[in-house]
Structure 1
């Protein structure tokens, strides 16, 4: 199959996406005529950005009724996505060709070879478009602007190219499907090596060689994909967790349960919220969902976690305690218990921490901002770049990722309906102020003064949070001379009412001070950038390898620790075809880095710089401060990673996109 090659005929155009003015104003500062113009613009925008709570896959969640044209992806984004996608498709086709050669798949080799030729044609056509649009990379983190251009192109030509790229994206998605590959692995003994072999042309993740180590299992609690769940135990273990003092002492040398409790050195994961999942099926295969409890400790004089015990369910009468053991008759039972935790963690991560608490929360702010803040409002100018791509990518998730027959339905433990409702419940229960980073760390008892000294997510996130907060404070203070300016801002008041009402953001209310407004802006910007980066990008490095973290168990959890072997453990893991689907989806989601934090650009070709107010952009302005501060944060995290047992790169500003665009 051939693909059209676009002509290289540059032209010029003017961006159509709204841009902030050189002098943003508050509504109370405007003349009656200017206020009327604001109102007219908002009325027009409200006709485009509308609410619905009737998206079938996420019922009850306030979302946009449609994706406005200004929220569609840029050519630069498509070029990155297609490049990543082609690498994944070529890998999957290599695996499928291997399955044909082994007699596991009935499809003819010629079909897969033709698909590889399609990939070459798509790549060539996309490269032509990229060249015409001057897509490039290079420079430091603030000069490296993916999608920067040398020449503008006509709007009609841009639309034609977007249509081509959209078609390529859809074809790549079709080529990623695994429906015809269910025989993969049927003639190959189940092994970790066989799962590694699914990375036929892609680099094999390092986690595949480390995930069985107990130290790695503990490390994932503080720098893995879902490292926002670990919490201090408090004064006593939960009543439904059946660990004895003797069991604890046998695991943590030179320590006692009483001393660990008194010192605040015990930390816990409790997956009880996953009880809302109804176990699903895939074809004739049953899937298993669990709600384990896992205990970790910081040993006396230590700084990092060690695993202590796992209970594979909530009722100790049904689920005995498993503890680390090198004994041959207990070893594989312990590995199976760790797998139970990792399945629960995969569900908690994807449905709660990722989808509900970043994607869906930020969509509410995006729609509310467009509907209630005029395009001359300074807070509109501050926040809108942090919403780029979010409505589009959320629409994609709602219609394919978390839909019946989609990857969540295939890979994860619950029926698709129960998985959808779990995400809905988590989004509607999200408390805005309680989830601000400092408050969340304090509530979980894992702040910088806790016994948990080694917590890379916390330490790096606080660096980024504090930097964003100072940027927000300086910016807010430019436009609001006093708290009275905040309370007198009628658009801001309607924005807050919308967020508390139509948008269903729990805990939101009236905004009464500059300090509060800066904190709100910090939370929105942090969630859309750093928090999403922390939950999204580990998907490639850690979750793409199914034995490390996956969405479902495929055999029942053990009822006791003794008497299990390696085949019992391997039998809990997903079929090879679903492991390949997991690889495809999470490799894609974890590989697209578009526009780093601190790089503010319009999303309209030719992507001019966003802020126009010289008070913001000047050498002594807050934007220059923010960009310089992010460079300092980058250097500090790089230095920290050089000293860590395992690096934690996900909160380096150069690797944090400005918005949720994947």
Structure 2
């Protein structure tokens, strides 16, 4: 067997589109000539995939120096993105036109109206042009996600035409991003009394999230800990509360009827959120407005005989001398203080979610594996074939995040509490501290004391994540066993050894080391696939349903925290929330990020037009092969989660396989 050398594009930007071999091999099993071909291919690829730790917004994080052409999105992806973006822009323009009618946008009302109406007309033109491109490429955008896979095409399109269409769609994407910007930060909403209803009204043409009607309920506040955007922080309190959280037995008993603090501790029914890691954030400003960042602590309990957690107490900072404990109370003089404390937790949760759980622990971790895989595993290597589809779009979307989302004067800078430099540092620290093996689901749940045998029986993220993990792990095991008959084959694999050394060294994956057994290789592959697909889905898609409505979760406080629970009112609570213009910006960004579903887990295709099926080895693709098993297993997981959701108080759809993209592409 011989291996064709990859050809560089005329620009030198990327090798010709790679596809897996029909019979992948390990380097030790090749002839000298085949080994030389592998080495030559890797040398060519290494000239394209290069490392840098000098991205200004994420200093010290190993990232790709550039985005190779093969890692740019497909036409199918752009069509989805533009469709979502058009809906967001039309909503924003409708809100701005309402602001014109309310006299909120300055003296040039007629000029503003004409500008926004012209933008709406431009949206119609973009929609028509995009639809024409989609039709020419046979892109399906409707129907069952498994039956009408986005990107399924019937006719080949010349490369030149494809490049022209990509350029056109990129231009539309950039134009829509420009139209999404909210310039009237000091005037939008200035004539409207601040209210929850006014925040709902920002969804002028988009569906109003259901959370906007529930977020003040204590049960909803507790629910978000186990099936919200950030389900990865809640941990068992152990056999004693932290010394800096001096909740008394009387305070506890007043909240949880028929229970005592001592009994709850003995039964391991207490769970905490501790946002101390956010101490790295320095409070920022927006124009002349101060922003507030907090590091609260929040206690939850599972009542005797219960399965779901209830909120018990919140301390809005780490030092009890400065921050008294607040507890739920129906009395009017304490009610709004409790609402303020919950809001402070939600602000902290928004920061922890976006900077730690989302950006650092999915996007940036997977980029390290993507670059290392391209640099050290040949295109005929079976592990290369297994992992590469799970990197589709990641380098591109990460570059977008680094150059706009988390850059100065970008959405993170505007919406979140920390100065942009400290927010960037928080993400950097979280990425470099990421414990790859410790964050594997079973290990992570055990470390936090929230496994399936814990008192926290109602934990949808955990239960659904383990279903998906088990399916992915078995897929990886069956696949790896096709190519590695013994552990000795793993040890003898020189490319795998170089890959592991790169991940432990240049890629800075904490705790990574030599791979010497099939079982360890399976775990690693399963963790990469899970993180790139299911874990990212769990932190990404709740952004639309929950975080797009800023009173429920936002990135900053806009008034100081109360120094006591009594004597506050609804107006004071509302004053802690973001200005309307920033609430609209938050809506725009998170509605976009949480709406793009592209290629579900288990649908393996090349990202090169016309998107042929990815795996070529009959041992993988056969009726009795591991891929057929995996697809059947995912269908079973889907049915199980749908059944669970029919019994849950609130459904948790984010880990249904049909709603999990294969890769981090948004």
TM-score, length of structure 1 as denominator length: 0.97
Q: Deviations over 1:381-430 (max 9, x none)?
A: 00000000000000000000000000000000000000000000000000
Counterparts of 1:255 and 1:519 in 2: how far apart (Å)?
Answer: 42
- When the two chains are superposed, the root-mean-square deviation of aligned CA atoms in Å is 0.8
Q: Is 1:42 aligned with 2:42? A: yes
Query: Where do 1:11-160 residues align within 5 Å?
Result: 16-106=16-106, 108-137=112-141, 140-160=144-164
Which position in structure 1 is the counterpart of 2:4?
Answer: none
How far 1:235 sits from its partner (Å)? 1.1
Q: Residue 470 of structure 1 is aligned with which of 474, 489, 494?
A: 474
Query: Where do 1:616-635 residues align within 5 Å?
Result: 616-635=620-639
Counterparts of 1:201 and 1:138 in 2: how far apart (Å)?
Answer: 21
Counterparts of 2:372 and 2:403 in 1: how far apart (Å)?
Answer: 22
Q: Is 1:388 aligned with 2:392? A: yes
Query: Where do 1:487-636 residues align within 5 Å?
Result: 487-636=491-640
Q: Is 1:168 aligned with 2:155? A: no
Which position in structure 1 is the counterpart of 2:268?
Answer: 264
Query: Where do 1:348-427 residues align within 5 Å?
Result: 348-427=352-431
Does the 8 A contact of 2:634 with 2:657 survive in 1? yes
Which position in structure 1 is the counterpart of 2:6?
Answer: none
Does the 8 A contact of 1:142 with 1:627 survive in 2? no
For 2:314, what is the secondary structure of its paired residue? strand
Counterparts of 1:35 and 1:633 in 2: how far apart (Å)?
Answer: 41
Which position in structure 2 is the counterpart of 1:3?
Answer: none
Counterparts of 2:435 and 2:174 in 1: how far apart (Å)?
Answer: 36
Does the 8 A contact of 2:82 with 2:172 survive in 1? yes
Distance 1:137 1:188, change over 3 A: closer
Q: Is 1:234 aligned with 2:238? A: yes
Q: Deviations over 1:562-586 (max 9, x none)?
A: 0000000000000000000000000
Does the 8 A contact of 1:242 with 1:320 survive in 2? no
Counterparts of 1:313 and 1:265 in 2: how far apart (Å)?
Answer: 23
How far 1:211 sits from its partner (Å)? 0.1
Q: How many residues are paired up?
A: 648
Q: 4+ residue runs of structure 1 moved beyond 2 angstroms?
A: 137-144
For 2:184, what is the secondary structure of its paired residue? helix
Q: Residue 486 of structure 2 is aligned with which of 482, 488, 509?
A: 482
Does the 8 A contact of 1:389 with 1:659 survive in 2? yes
Counterparts of 2:623 and 2:141 in 1: how far apart (Å)?
Answer: 24
Q: Deviations over 1:422-474 (max 9, x none)?
A: 00000000011001010000000000000000000000000000000000000
Counterparts of 1:237 and 1:526 in 2: how far apart (Å)?
Answer: 33
Q: Is 1:211 aligned with 2:215? A: yes
Q: Deviations over 1:182-221 (max 9, x none)?
A: 3111111000000000000000000000000000000000
Which position in structure 2 is the counterpart of 1:336?
Answer: 340
Does the 8 A contact of 2:185 with 2:579 survive in 1? no
Q: Is 1:294 aligned with 2:298? A: yes
Counterparts of 2:428 and 2:35 in 1: how far apart (Å)?
Answer: 38
Which position in structure 2 is the counterpart of 1:453?
Answer: 457
How far 1:324 sits from its partner (Å)? 0.2
Q: Is 1:321 aligned with 2:296? A: no
TM-score, length of structure 2 as denominator length: 0.97
Counterparts of 1:148 and 1:464 in 2: how far apart (Å)?
Answer: 25
Counterparts of 1:565 and 1:132 in 2: how far apart (Å)?
Answer: 58
How far 1:607 sits from its partner (Å)? 0.2
For 2:120, what is the secondary structure of its paired residue? helix
Which position in structure 1 is the counterpart of 2:181?
Answer: 177
For 1:593, what is the secondary structure of its paired residue? coil
